Amino acid sequence: MDEPLRKKWESIASRFDELTSQLMDPSVIGQPALLVKLNKERTEIESVAHLFRRYQDIVKQLDEASHMLTDPSVGSELRSLATEESLRLDEERAELEARVLEHLTPKDPRDDKNLFLEIRAGTGGDEAALFAGDLFRMYVKFAERRKLKVEIVEASETGKGGYKTVIALIEGKGGYGLFKYESGVHRVQRVPVTEAAGRIHTSTVTVAVMPEVDEVDVQIDPKDLRIDTFCSSGAGGQSVNTTYSAVRITHIPTGVVVSCQDERSQLKNRTKAMRTLRARIVEAEREKQEAEIAQTRKAQVGTGDRSEKIRTYNFPQNRVTDHRVGLTLHKLEHVLAGDMDELIEALRAQRDHAAVAEAS
């Protein structure tokens, strides 16, 4: 654990002891309002303080085990027990550090929201579209593992499982908190099915993740909307190209355009499109603000710029590399099957460390 984080943790534990002492002071007991205030603060930091006390115990026991291992008078049996105990304590210490990091990290209020996932084929033509389909299926499987519901809002298919564009609404508690690290450029290196000479091609797919916003979060004047209806198109079915159920909504002030043709009902498509529109307007404003920040702070990295290459999927080497945390996993097939936990946890840990350091 780095020193700034340990000191912050220690100061919280000290504050807990200070509050405990104050709450026993007769002069405080005689002030109900102050008593409630101090008791509330103590309750909020109690779990973190207890974790620090356990952490101190572990550090002390590790120190004792280390002395036993370096003491020449200690027999082999005791030395073996001390080694086993050190390993166990090290594991518990690492677990405690991970737990306290979650406690100390400022919570993003958007983490529990639903989200819109937009995947678009980038450079690479048909191969990029095929990989867009692979990524979408990866995210669907990951969402299913986390008991999240995935519903396609808009899709432009190319055949053989490929997509030029696919937009999905993912619903469930903690959805945005899990997916928010996926925004950016995803690069794939593999031999396309259309490549006769067996040469490896590099293609890209862009992913955007936007939290769903409530109506109260963004007010849209109906006068600022242009709503068009058109016949849906797709692989077939009774309603395709026969009824004007598909909806396209244009927000005139910002130029944001969304469409939805997934449902047979025009009303349902309109409702879905409005949900997407709200999220896009808020996201556009956020990106505008971040762009302004980036201009004045050129040294800042990772402001949401989607031109950044965030991850590479290398099929010949069965490798996935996340460039933001320098993590490489040689289990590409498992990742594409939705086993993304290791990647997400590494990204979350990096964010937590950065957030705690900034708050300090």
The domain limits of the chain are: 3-104, 115-216+304-359, 222-288
pLDDT in tens, 242-289: 567 888 999 988 888 988 887 778 888 888 888 888 888 888 877 776
- The pLDDT of residue 128 is 94
Question: In this structure, which CATH number among 3.30.160.20, 3.40.50.720, 3.40.50.1010, 2.30.42.10 belongs to the domain 222-288?
Answer: 3.30.160.20
- The pLDDT of residue 235 is 46
Domains 3-104 and 115-216+304-359 share a fold: no
Mean pLDDT (whole number) for 86-97: 90
Residues of the chain with pLDDT > 70, as a percent, come to: 87
pLDDT at 301 over 50: no
Mean pLDDT (whole number) for 313-337: 96
Q: Write the CA distances from 158 to 135, 175, 183, 246, 332, integer angstroms.
A: 15, 28, 23, 19, 24
Least confident piece of the model among 101-110, 192-201, 292-301, 307-316: 292-301
* Residues pairing with 103 in the sheet: none
Q: What are phi and psi of 85, to 5 degrees?
A: -65, -40
Structure tokens at 130: 């095929």
Domain 115-216+304-359 part of CATH 3.30.70.1660: yes
pLDDT at 356 over 70: no
Residues 6+ apart with CB under 8 A from 223: none
Of residues 320 and 301, the one with the higher pLDDT is: 320
pLDDT at 197 over 90: no
Rounded to 10 degrees, what is the CA torsion of 283, 285, 286, 289? 160
For 3-104, give the CATH class: mainly alpha
pLDDT in tens, 124-169: 999 999 999 999 999 999 999 999 999 998 899 997 889 999 999 9
* Residues pairing with 163 in the sheet: 157
